Structure 1
Amino acid sequence: MQIKELTNNPTLAGQVRLIENVTYAAADGEALHLSLLVPWLQRHRVAELAPRPLLVFVQGSSWQRPTLGEEIPQLVQYVHQGFVVATVQHRNAIEGHPFPAFLQDVKTAIRYLRAHAAQYAIDPHQVVLWGTSSGGNAALLAALTANDPAYRTADYPDQSDQVNAVVACFAPTDVADTFAYTQHVPGSDLLKICLFGQDPAQWPAKMKEMSPLYRIQPGQTYPAFLLLHGDADQVVPYHEMEDMATALAAAGVAVEAVRVKGADHEKDFWSPAVYQTVADFLARQIKLEPTAK
């Protein structure tokens, strides 16, 4: 019998570690969690790791509590490309946490990760925010309201929630338009009450505040944006992506827009081409060091 030999892997190259259910803050008496994907070397010899750019992902959830693991299998590829990846939960609008609770939580998570950058081998100066559907709405809002005291909790006061680039997939950019389009979606009326309160007279102003399309301010400095949307979306109308891209470009903001032909909301939207499009955008916006495969 011949015994084959393999060389060991002293740098743990290509190995990815999942750190689950990290408590990043508490709000209204409940713990808020995120999960991390990091190089496996972080567990054993973090000091040997060069700091990596951070990719923060917010899963769509109709502004309810996101499922942390929904996209983790796909997000692993971005660790191989040189990122630390975090997936973030936020409070649930249906459980009595109206807007802007979800936005405050996403911003708090970014500050937590900056505060713990050394622990997770994160470069706090390179942070990307990526969201889908309602998570995309949160990502856009967070980028357009960087360090705004109106959406800032007391957690990690010495840290910034500003980001360097944003990816948003099939995101509501005009919330009133989205709700008008999705009147047939079960639970939409309850969701409006939970997000905006019992008085419908107050809804238009709150919907506008929660709409990224109306949060772009002339003369402000914003990160680069990548917007992707399926043109057969049955939940968030496709034109909202084009409207947002047009508004950003008119304000002099760097923006790229991608139409996914024939794609509905979430469902058949995802493909290797979509993930590669995101990777290519990130490579243009973020300095990535070569990583061992």
Structure 2
Amino acid sequence: MTLHPQSVAFLTDLGEPTVPDADQVPAVRAQARAAALAQSDRIGLDAVLDLDADGVPVRLYRPALGAPAALYVHGGGWVLHDLETHDAFCRHLAHRTGWALLAVDYRRAPEHPYPAPLDDVETAARWLREHARTHRVDASFVPGIGDSSGANLVAGLTVRDASLLDMQVLLYPATDREGVLDPALDTNALTAEQMAWFWRQYADGSASPEVSPLRHADLASTPPTVVVTAEHDVLRDQGEAYASALSQAGVPVSAWRALGVPHSFWRMPDRFDLSRATVLAVGALMDARRTAHL
């Protein structure tokens, strides 16, 4: 299929893609953070709390007292983005689904390569289980939600300890450090060359299945999973290969390809109709899985 007109407009606004330079990372981060903080139209919730999860900064988005809670892990190639860049979207996600979110401000590469980001996600997941009641949310069933490299960290967490999450929701996940990326799927949102650079910053040379969950020898232990890929995305094929491998291992999987859209569409409900529809679908799947679990 061709790109949806909303995708064409988004990619045009992005301009030509460039491969980041390590020296430029602080400036790129600061620019993205400043742009996010300049946004004034933010959804109000019952509570938005900046907390300390045993040394890991986190932000709790609570749409209502007693709301079920999920762990949220942002993307950005393990290098970029933070709580602020995803704040507006996390508010939208919590509001539209009714789920509380614990967003993790994990340490980032290249200053803190693997396993530091995954260590922080694990710490936050354990903290959520232990302290949910204190903050008036329900952690009896905890999904992990992640986009892009954040989805990789969620999937890596299920490799490290499958008991920490009851479900994983992965948006255009990176699942294979050694996977061949098709440059024909390059867009201004993400190119194969950029993705290779991000992999090197996070886990250069690592063969751990925590880095490449697709290569995990015991996929059968993975919790029920939702995988959403984007049609025009260099990570599409490895995300779909992961979903297929999970299904073959007997894991309950819901997977679909979002047509006409590029990488990053999920966290932009103001620009993509399909983002808003996907949020509602994810919320319904989490509700259904939670009901079955309880």
Q: TM-score when scaled to structure 1?
A: 0.71
- Aligned match of 2:4: none
Instruction: Label 1:180 to 1:106 Cα distance change in 2 as closer, same or farther (>3 A).
Output: farther
Q: Report whether the alignment pairs 1:256 with 2:254.
A: yes
Instruction: Give the root-mean-square deviation of aligned CA atoms.
Output: 2.7
- Aligned match of 1:217: 218
Gaps of 5+ in 1: 1-13, 27-31, 41-48, 148-160, 198-202, 289-293
2-structure distance, mates of 1:118, 1:124: 8
Instruction: Label 1:102 to 1:130 Cα distance change in 2 as closer, same or farther (>3 A).
Output: same
2-structure distance, mates of 1:196, 1:15: 37
Letter in structure 2 aligned against 1:283: D
1-structure distance, mates of 2:96, 2:264: 24
2-structure distance, mates of 1:183, 1:163: 30
Does structure 2 conserve the Cα–Cα contact (< 8 Å) formed by 1:65 and 1:91?
Answer: no
- Aligned match of 2:106: 90
2-structure distance, mates of 1:116, 1:175: 34
> Secondary structure at 2:242's aligned position in 1?
helix
- Aligned match of 2:202: 195
Letter in structure 2 aligned against 1:205: A
Match of 1:240 among 238, 241, 244: 238
> Secondary structure at 2:175's aligned position in 1?
coil
Does structure 2 conserve the Cα–Cα contact (< 8 Å) formed by 1:114 and 1:122?
Answer: no
1-structure distance, mates of 2:147, 2:215: 19
Q: Which has the higher helix share?
A: 2
- Aligned match of 2:288: 284
Q: Report whether the alignment pairs 1:185 with 2:194.
A: yes
2-structure distance, mates of 1:122, 1:214: 34
Q: Which moved more, 1:116-125 or 1:222-231?
A: 116-125
Does structure 2 conserve the Cα–Cα contact (< 8 Å) formed by 1:34 and 1:87?
Answer: yes
Q: Report whether the alignment pairs 1:229 with 2:229.
A: yes
Letter in structure 1 aligned against 2:223: P
Cα drift, residue 144 of structure 1: 3.0
Letter in structure 1 aligned against 2:194: V
Deviations 1:28-84 (A, max 9, x none): xxxx311111246xxxxxxxx5x4321111110111254213343343353564422
Cα drift, residue 142 of structure 1: 1.1
Match of 2:147 among 127, 132, 147: 132
- Aligned match of 2:263: 265
Instruction: Label 1:17 to 1:217 Cα distance change in 2 as closer, same or farther (>3 A).
Output: same
Task: Select the structure with the greater relative contact order (CA < 8 A; seq sep ≥ 6).
Answer: 2
- Aligned match of 1:165: 167
2-structure distance, mates of 1:244, 1:124: 27
Instruction: Label 1:33 to 1:183 Cα distance change in 2 as closer, same or farther (>3 A).
Output: same
Instruction: Label 1:204 to 1:15 Cα distance change in 2 as closer, same or farther (>3 A).
Output: closer
1-structure distance, mates of 2:45, 2:175: 37
1-structure distance, mates of 2:199, 2:100: 35
1:39-50 to structure 2, matched below 5 A, reads 39=63, 49=65
2-structure distance, mates of 1:196, 1:81: 34
Match of 2:54 among 25, 38, 46: 25
Query: Max radius of gyration: which structure?
Result: 1
Q: Report whether the alignment pairs 1:107 with 2:122.
A: yes
Does structure 2 conserve the Cα–Cα contact (< 8 Å) formed by 1:78 and 1:279?
Answer: no
Cα drift, residue 91 of structure 1: 0.9
Identical positions, percent = 27
